[in-house]
Each structure stands twice: as C-alpha cells, then as structure tokens.
Structure 1
Amino acid sequence: MYAQFIKELIDLPDVLIQKVRKEEERWIFELSLPEQCPLCPVCLKRTIKMTGKKKQWMHGYAQRIGIFWVELPVERRRCGTCGMTFSTSDPGISPRSVATDAFQQWVAHSCIGTSIQAVARMLKLPYTTVERWFYTHAPSFLSNDIQPKAVCVDEFAFRKGHDYGVAIMDAETGEVYALEAGKNEEAIGRVLAPVSDSVQYVVSDLAPAMKKAIQGVCPEAKHVVDYFHVIQLFTEALDRCRKSFGKGNKKHGHVRYVCRLLTQRPEKLTEEERQTVREWQKESDSLQAVYQSLQHFRYVSKSQNERQAKRRLNAWVHRYLFCPCSAVRAIAKSLVKRTDEIISCMLSPYSNGKMEGTNNKIKLMKRRGYGYRNIQRFALRVRLETANILS
C-alpha cells in the first residue's frame, strides 16, 4: 500500500521504485527505467549505449517534506548508422533540465492567484527560475478557441493620467481575452480583431473612438451603449446646474449670502440682489427640467420591442430637443447622434457592469505586481486570473 501511494505521488509512467533515501534535507526517490532501446532521432535506426549515469530532478512538493526529487539513469547513446550521439532518459523528462515538466507545470499553476515571489519563497527556489517556468507553461493553460457571442470593451489606466490601455471581456463568462496599450481607435480595433468573426454584441461607453472602431472592425455586430453611461449624461447635467449656484469667493462661501437674500424682505433688497434671486429661479427651473427629462427617459427605456422603443425615443427627442434648459438640449443632441445604440441599450440584456468590476481587478493585479513593464506578460496574468482556471 505504501508503494502504491508513492507511485501515485510520483506520477511517472513505466517506472520502478528502487528505494527512498534522504540526503540532508532532500528526499530522493530512486527510480529505474524498463529495458528499452531508443531509436536515433535522425535516421530512426538502433543505437548503442556508450555511458550511463544517474541524475536528479525536482518532481513534486509536499507540505511536510518540501520538494522531493526523483533519480533516474541518463544514458549517452550513439547511432551505429549515422554516428549521431544523444542523451536519453524518461520521455517526460528533459536530461538538461533541473525539474520535470510535471513539476514545472505545477509551479506555474501555483502562481495563478498569487505572486511569483510568494511561490518562490514557499518552494525556496530562485525567483528567476519560477518566473521562467511560469511564462513558459502558463500560456498552455488558456484556450485558443475564442468565439464569444457578446463582448465588453472598456479602457483602464496603467498609470492614472499617463498611460492607458483597452481590454476586451466576454460579457457572459467574464473572461478577459486581450489587452492593448492605448485608448485610441487603432488600439480598440486591435483588441477587437480576434473576436470580429463570431461576436454579435459589443458593449461600450459613449466614447466616439469606440463607435468608429466597432463599425470598422465588427460592422455586423450590434453596438450596445451601457445604460449607466447614458444616465451619466443626466447626472453630469445636474452637476453642472448645481455648480452654477456656487458663485462667490468669500471666506464662508456663498451659504451666508444665499441665506441672507432668502430671509430678507423683497423691498429691502437692492436691484442687483433681486436680479440674483431671479437667476436662481431660472436655475431651479433648469434643475426641474433635467429631473423631468431623466424620469421620462427611464420610462422610455422600459420598451418591450424595437418598434415601441423607436417610437418612445422619438417622442422624447421631440419633447426635449428645443427645451429652454441648455443642459437638456445637450443631452437630446447626444442621444440623437446615437439612436441605434440607445435602442440596443434598451432591448439588449447586456451591460458593461462586469467590465467595470474587472477593471478594479486589473488595478489590483497591477499593484500586486508593483507594475508591469511588459504588456504581453501583464495581459497573460490578467487572462489567467479571469479565466477561472482555479475553480
């Protein structure tokens, strides 16, 4: 039973366990290969054994004993036909490496969800060695078959205010497919190119570069504007109207000034102060107009089909396109330019909410790695963290 457990722990085919020994703090499993005669890799003829020696490889890790090693014979063989000389051992082990492929893949898999430095400290291995194994084997964990139905596209910051990038994510599974540096139309086109054949819905914000890139790379896909960014037009208009009240550079702000004008009798106010109060009335009317347009648009967004959505949106535009409030007119003009995207936003079940949450994950990965100088390695790390490989 003990030998069977060791065989399952070692997980190497066609090997025989000779014995187990301990050298200082290293546990070593001595294995023997079955009788074999490897063929020449050039002419595929029989070879002759020249010399033989034993070599050790790191092959596994256990919590109590640490890294355990396997010891296998390495033969130097020569082809009698073409004279080719080569080294041979178990097919799953490279004679020139210090660890088996299975151990390297396990180490690379352990780095997902944590830092490479933490794994290197746990295994007491050089950081550069663990890093090389990770970037060698980690790409094999990802699937190359990328055919999403709906994707989300959004920008994120490498350095706030300096360097930006664009990420594309599956709207259903939450897996990030690609990252590109920059946030212009060319960068968005590059990130959309791998999924342009299969994608049917593309969700993004109201940026003009997004619309141009989607129309150029995915002309047959429906462009869906995120509902949050549409409502953001109204909230920003409300902020602009509120900020218009904040006039005055006094020590205590304009609070005391406003309170005095509102509590005084009208006949005690000067003509200039009365004009100020009249302007406040106009601003309050603007606030009310923005609120009314927002509530009306929320009613419009509850449409059941495309025909009903177009009819309600056209009615909203005709009602507020010539509104006395300039902020409401600006919102109406923005929606007129994006009529098709707004209708898709009303009818589509997709949104950019997952992408906004993933942007926070990307920011945390960047901080955990203390920044990345290589965009390809950073993209690989983000893909591994969002691909649900650990589950």
Structure 2
Amino acid sequence: MPANILNLPAYTVISLAESDHDYQISAEAKQAVSMCPHCQSDRLVGFGRREQMVRDLPMHGKRVKLYIDTRRYRCQTCAKTFYETLPGVDDRRLMTTRLTAWMGKLAIKRTFASIADKVGCTESTSRSVFSDYVNDLEKTIRFETPKWMGIDEIHLIRPRALITNIQSNTIVELLKDRNIETMIHYLSNLNGKENIQYVAMDMWEPYRDACLVVLPQAKIVIDKFHVVKMANEAMEKVRKGLRDRLTLKEKRGLMHDRYVLLKRERDLTNKDSLLLSDWLKNYAELGLAYRLKEDFFKIYDCSSPNEAQGSYLDWKQRVTPEVADAFRELIRAWDNWAPWILEYFNHPIINTYMESLNNVIRVMNRRDRGYSFEALRAKILFAKGAQKRKHQAQV
C-alpha cells in the first residue's frame, strides 16, 4: 500500500478498495492520545473502538471515503471516557478540512448540487459547507472602500443595490435592498468613507439622499449610461406608436430594422444608412425622434457643465408636440437631476463595468435559481469582489 496515497501524514493507510465511483480507504491516526482533554491526566487506558466514515477530496474523478478506526479512552484519574480527536477532520461534520475548504472555494463558481454529486454528500450539506466557508472568509477578508464608488441596481429575486469600485472594476458589496435606510446604514459603517471622492449612480433618490447625508465630501455623478438610455427609450416609444398605422409587413420590417434606429449615426454602415433613410423619409415622427435622440447624445460631447446645460436647453426647445409625450420622462429626469447630471462634465466617470457585470450576474442567477439571497451574494462577492486580508488592510 503506498504510504502517501492520502497525502495525510497524520494517518496510516491500512487498506484500499475501489468501485466504479468510489475509493474506500481504511486508516487510523498515527499519534495516540497522551492526555485527557478533561483533566489533562496522562493515566489513560483503551476503552473500545468505533469506525467512522469521513469524506475526503475526490481522487481520479472518484469519491473518497475514509474509514477511520477511532480509539476510545477512559481516564483513570477523572473516570471520564472520550474518543480521540481526528486530525485534519472538520469539527462540524465528518469531512476532512481540506475537503470543506475545496468545496467552499468551488461553490463560488459551481452549483451546490454538482459539488454534492462530485463529493457524495447531500445538497444541503454542500450549502452548509459553503455557508461556513463564507463566514470564515468574512472574518479574515474585507472589501476595500473605493475612492470612486459606483452604485447601481441589479435584480436578484427583487431589486438590490450593488456597490462597485469603478477604478478597479470590482464588486464591493451587494445589499439586501435599495431603501434609504439600508443605504445610510451601509455607508455610515464603511471604513475610510471620508476618502470617497466620487459616487456614480443611477437616478434613484435613496442613493443620492444617502450620499448627501453620509458622504458630504463626495461628488455625486449621474452615470451617463442611465441618461442617454432614456433618449433611446423615447425613440422606441415613437417607433411603437407607429405600429397601429402599419401593415403587417411594415411592422415586421420596422421590428427587424429597429437596430439602425438605436445605433449612433456615426456608427452606421452604408447599408444601415440606406435602411434608416427609408424609414425616416416615410415616417416624419420617427425622423424627428431619431434626430432628437442623436442630438441629445451630442450633449455629452460638451466640455463643461455650462455648455452642456445650454446645449440641453436648445435641444429641449426642439422637442415638438408630436413627440413630446415620448420625451417627457427624459426631460423631467434632466430637469430634476440637473446638478448631478452636469457633474459628469466636471468629472466624467462612468460605471462601465456594470453592463458586463449584469450579464455575469444574470447567468449566475439562472444557474443558481432557488438559492437564497445570502448564498447568491456570497457567490457574487467572492467571485468578483475587491478583497484584502484584514491583517493587511490599512485602517
């Protein structure tokens, strides 16, 4: 029998059996107990044995079961009996500590069910191991407070606030909701919150109001993406409003060609330009909406807040009654959020990471459907988070 088959130096391997899916390895601890854990006496006598099945890391694609011959002792001083403590075995379940560490790390990117199948335990045990792994990690790891913070919304069962580090493109925290009480509590308890310089966010009042209260030194910047997106949405409203006047063939054509309406004019190919020209020529409202959309995007070419506000006011004057309803929400948003929208032109920071991150999170949410928020939060944070060991972190 190879002495190192387990690579667990505290054990002696006695025998090995193999089946289609498992290795069954009999072993015993090398070091006998020398002291009573109750009274520290060394007057011990053997008092029987029992075999315990302990799961270990898979080998060669097969599950591993260790059958450990565990010794029982009786203390002649205090008369208490006890079993020897098995070295390298988790004190919460009959698994080696290296197996639980491996399962915990793997569960960040794999489903609990797939890990349970690989190890030979129940899915609930896999979940429990991951929960303990995360709790242990959070005792030794903190997430860096960013100087440039992003706050955005993702949908995991319901809307949640996602905190990101814009400079390093990493996740800092995923909050249970996006209410102002939750935001204030989180921001108030951040280490180094006074060093936050900028916060990029969408137009959700609790984000803004919490930052104004807790982070008065930070500049609030409304993410450009959330503003220009509303211009595209306004044009889409105009397009959809035309459908009642179109034949079935025209409806299908407009749906098929909608991508050219959403593209920036500067990015159109020759073929795109021809398609667009036909639609805009035949439908005046669509042409007006497209031009307003394009001109709104150009506001973000301005180099100062004053220039941008002037460009916006000129643009607003060109919104005619035919398309006013479609652009009403965009106009209301700018008018209500102008100070923070215009801050972008002083500090052009954007949370570009969010779009790709949302795609990753959506895949994770589908794959791990039915998981609790706590489990999903841990998987997302430890897969994508900006982490530092606490003992290395600067206070």
Q: TM-score, normalized by length of structure 1?
A: 0.71
Structure 2 CA distance for aligned equivalents of residues 125 and 286 of structure 1:
59
Q: Closer, same or farther in 2 for the Cα pair 1:333/1:32, shift >3 Å?
A: closer
Structure 2 CA distance for aligned equivalents of residues 291 and 23 of structure 1:
69
- Equivalent in the alignment of 2:35: 38
Aligned-pair distance for 1:67?
Answer: 0.9
Structure 1 CA distance for aligned equivalents of residues 313 and 227 of structure 2:
18
Identity %: 18
- Equivalent in the alignment of 1:104: 100
- Equivalent in the alignment of 2:216: 219
Structure 1 CA distance for aligned equivalents of residues 248 and 183 of structure 2:
47
Q: Closer, same or farther in 2 for the Cα pair 1:63/1:335, shift >3 Å?
A: same
Q: Identify the match of residue 171 of structure 1 among 158, 166, 169.
A: 166
Q: Closer, same or farther in 2 for the Cα pair 1:287/1:55, shift >3 Å?
A: closer
- Equivalent in the alignment of 2:110: 114
Q: Closer, same or farther in 2 for the Cα pair 1:92/1:123, shift >3 Å?
A: closer
SS of the aligned residue for 2:94 comes to: coil
Q: Closer, same or farther in 2 for the Cα pair 1:369/1:250, shift >3 Å?
A: closer
Aligned-pair distance for 1:354?
Answer: 1.5
- Equivalent in the alignment of 1:273: none
Aligned-pair distance for 1:283?
Answer: 8.6
- CA RMSD, aligned part only? 3.9
Structure 2 CA distance for aligned equivalents of residues 364 and 108 of structure 1:
20
The amino acid of 1:129's aligned partner reads T
The amino acid of 2:377's aligned partner reads A
Aligned residues: 345
Structure 1 CA distance for aligned equivalents of residues 110 and 316 of structure 2:
53
Structure 2 CA distance for aligned equivalents of residues 104 and 252 of structure 1:
60
SS of the aligned residue for 1:209 comes to: helix
SS of the aligned residue for 1:10 comes to: coil
Q: Closer, same or farther in 2 for the Cα pair 1:51/1:201, shift >3 Å?
A: farther
1:287-326 deviation digits (Å, cap 9, x = unpaired):
655544542x1321xx3xxxxx234235435645655647
Query: Does the Cα contact within 8 Å between 1:117 and 1:127 map onto a contact in 2?
Result: yes
- Equivalent in the alignment of 1:20: 15
Query: Does the Cα contact within 8 Å between 1:77 and 1:85 map onto a contact in 2?
Result: yes
Query: Does the Cα contact within 8 Å between 1:54 and 1:74 map onto a contact in 2?
Result: yes
Highest CA radius of gyration, 1 or 2?
Answer: 1
Q: Closer, same or farther in 2 for the Cα pair 1:335/1:61, shift >3 Å?
A: same
1:92-140 deviation digits (Å, cap 9, x = unpaired):
3357842222222222223231111112222333223323222222333
Aligned-pair distance for 1:345?
Answer: 2.5
SS of the aligned residue for 2:217 comes to: coil
Structure 2 CA distance for aligned equivalents of residues 177 and 282 of structure 1:
44
Does residue 299 in structure 1 map to residue 304 in structure 2?
A: no
SS of the aligned residue for 1:71 comes to: strand
Structure 2 CA distance for aligned equivalents of residues 84 and 243 of structure 1:
81
SS of the aligned residue for 1:166 comes to: strand
Q: TM-score, normalized by length of structure 2?
A: 0.70
- Equivalent in the alignment of 2:373: 375
- Equivalent in the alignment of 2:345: 346
Q: Identify the match of residue 154 of structure 1 among 142, 147, 152.
A: 152
1:131-177 deviation digits (Å, cap 9, x = unpaired):
32222223334553222213322222245xxx332222333444434
Q: Identify the match of residue 384 of structure 2 among 372, 381, 386.
A: 386
Does residue 312 in structure 1 map to residue 307 in structure 2?
A: yes
Q: Identify the match of residue 87 of structure 1 among 72, 83, 86.
A: 83
Higher mean displacement: 331-340 or 115-124: 331-340
Aligned-pair distance for 1:91?
Answer: 4.3
The amino acid of 1:369's aligned partner reads D
**What stretches of structure 2 of length at least 5 have no aligned partner?**
252-282, 388-395
- Equivalent in the alignment of 2:393: none
Aligned-pair distance for 1:62?
Answer: 0.4
- Equivalent in the alignment of 2:135: 139
Structure 2 CA distance for aligned equivalents of residues 313 and 114 of structure 1:
47
Q: Identify the match of residue 76 of structure 1 among 73, 78, 81.
A: 73
**What stretches of structure 1 of length at least 5 have no aligned partner?**
256-279, 304-308
The amino acid of 1:377's aligned partner reads A
SS of the aligned residue for 1:195 comes to: coil
- Equivalent in the alignment of 1:265: none
Aligned-pair distance for 1:224?
Answer: 2.2
